[in-house]
Amino acid sequence: FNFWEALFREEDLTRYVATWMDVADVLKLYCISKRFHWVFNKKYTSTIMASARIHAPIAMYIFPYQAYRRLCIRDPMRLPMPRRPTEMRMVPSLKWLQMIVYRTFVVHDILLALSMEGIRFPKIITRVLMKIWFLLDIPYTGVRIGIIHNPRYWTSSDLWYATMFFVKLDLRFTDPVGGSGSFYLRCLMMGQRGLTVLWLALRGKVLTSRLELLQMMVKFDYEPRDGNPERLPIMGIEPSKVGGLSCEAWTAGNMRLLRPDELVLKEATRRRMGMHRYFSTMLLWGFVDWNTLETVPVPDLATLTL
């Protein structure tokens, strides 16, 4: 008796089980089992979206597959587009599912790492961090501005909590013991192409030496005074990568690319939110129990709940 072969004969049950499995295990079965491959393909899009609703219910809406064409594939069942019947429709792939599950994990672990330092956030911050990551995916300032101008996507509440995140991130990075003593690290982290670098930095995996910090600064916004006519590496960084992260299309020489922290404050000012009046509230949130006016102790991993 082969359990898997018996399971795969029940198509609906197979797809239901697949939605609850880890994405890595689904990918393995999809590659090695012809029967599973066929069953999965019959309802490919609905199975992918059902799995996304279980493993990444927020990220699936923050990072819509329509915005990531490189992570889409042609429909395995070769169904046409509704309005263009001569063209095959594009559907989300397993790579897109892997991406949103990975980003959900990274965002939660960033908040966990900050919570272990005593820096807490309300639950809504998970969605806001993902929206910040979505901005980081976009290589052009104009498109970023267009997105953050949309009050249905970036609500005033989102802007408020995003500002809280930046304030508390500065609090972490300017810590005289555990930080660098400078807010420049926040600018450096928000100038990357995602939040993975911030996650690794908070976990102590990168920026463990001054050399690493200098190399990241060179990649971000360094401009050689003489223009580097001989095209020599700077701090071990190839000339083509020097200063590129702060420019549009992440290419040195292009127009400056506005960071999410800059965009959030500019948009809050445009909407006349008076954000400066709430900085002290943002700073104290999670540190003081407003019922007893006592300091909230730093949690340990055993009792911490996100």
State the amino acid at position 165 in one-letter form.
Answer: F
Mean pLDDT score of the chain: 90
Q: Is 58 exposed, middle or buried (CB count within 10 Å of its CB: 0-12, 13-18, 19+)?
A: middle
Paired with 73 in beta bridges are: 91
What local confidence, expressed as pLDDT, does residue 263 receive?
Answer: 98
pLDDT: which is higher, 218 or 300: 218
- Assign 74 to helix, strand or coil: strand
pLDDT in tens, 69-83: 999 999 888 877 777
Q: At what angle do helices 44-55 and 11-20 cross, to 10 degrees?
A: 30
Q: What is the mean pLDDT of residues 284-300?
A: 81
> Is residue 265 packed enough to be buried (19+ CB in 10 Å), middle (13-18) or exposed (0-12)?
middle
Say how far apart CA 118 and CA 296 lie, in whole Å.
8
pLDDT bin (cut points 50, 70, 90) of residue 304 is low
Strand pairing class (288-289; 72-74): unpaired
Please state the φ and ψ torsions of residue 65, each to the nearest 5 degrees: -65, -25
Closest by CA position to 135, among listed 113, 111, 166:
166
Report whether pLDDT(225) > 90.
no
Q: DSSP 3-state assignment of 301?
A: coil
Q: Are 131 and 195 in contact, with CB atoms under 8 Å apart?
A: no
The per-residue pLDDT for range 233-265, each reduced to its tens digit, is 888 888 888 899 999 999 988 999 999 999 999
